[in-house]
Amino acid sequence: MYCEEDKFTDADRAALRDIQHREKAQTRTVHGDIAMTYERREIFTFHADEVGTFRFDVRGIKEAIADDRIPARMYKIPEVKEDYHQHILHNGGVEPERLPRITGADLERPGLLVAWPNGYQTMIDGNHRLCRRMQLGTKSFRFLLVDVLHCVPWMCRPGDEEKLFKSDRPEGSEVLHTEIKVVET
């Protein structure tokens, strides 16, 4: 499929930093000085017989790109081919019932593809946006392309998800319990 290099703008960078409502960390006091904080992060699961299964912390990768910690290049597909659209629709974790809720600025956020050493690419963010744009008759799609080797700090094998959630904690705080729940879609 033909694509052309595009400009990675300040608006694109801001869109990467925009935390979706479902991802915002929430804290509540449980008892006295004990607070419980939880967050939901978007995890994309990829499987191929050649490499096995990987989980990608999409939020972590987007933050790293926005902060220039890993390189990425912006591209535009002027006209997404129907066979690619169908492939994404059926193999990219798309939940058709979510498509009508994708509107406005969400439709303009670029997707995120990782490039594998064998030349293949996998869209780890933007599958729903691409399908919604096609549904609305908009055939173009912009995406950031990043080498999978730059994503390693935000990747893990199933069962090792806790690696993705290590973060700096406020001084004096202690983690009493960690629970990772991966919801398959």
Please give the distance of CA 59 from its chain centroid, rounded to a whole number: 6
User: CB under 8 Å to 155, separation ≥6 — which residues?
Assistant: 54, 55, 56, 57, 148
What pTM did the predictor assign?
Answer: 0.82
Tokens 């990608």 correspond to what residue?
Answer: 56
Question: For position 73, what pLDDT does the model report?
Answer: 97
Residue-wise pLDDT tens digits, 51-77: 899 999 998 999 999 999 999 999 999
The mean of the pLDDT values for the chain is: 85
Q: How many CA atoms lie within 13 A of 140 on its CB side?
A: 8
Q: How much is the pLDDT for 29?
A: 72
pLDDT 10s digits, 26-44: 666 766 776 666 666 788 9
Say what the pLDDT of residue 25 is.
Answer: 63
Residue 164 Rama label (left phi>0; alpha psi -120 to 50; beta): alpha
pLDDT of residue 166: 61
Provide, rounded to the nearest whole percent, the portion of the chain with pLDDT above 90.
61
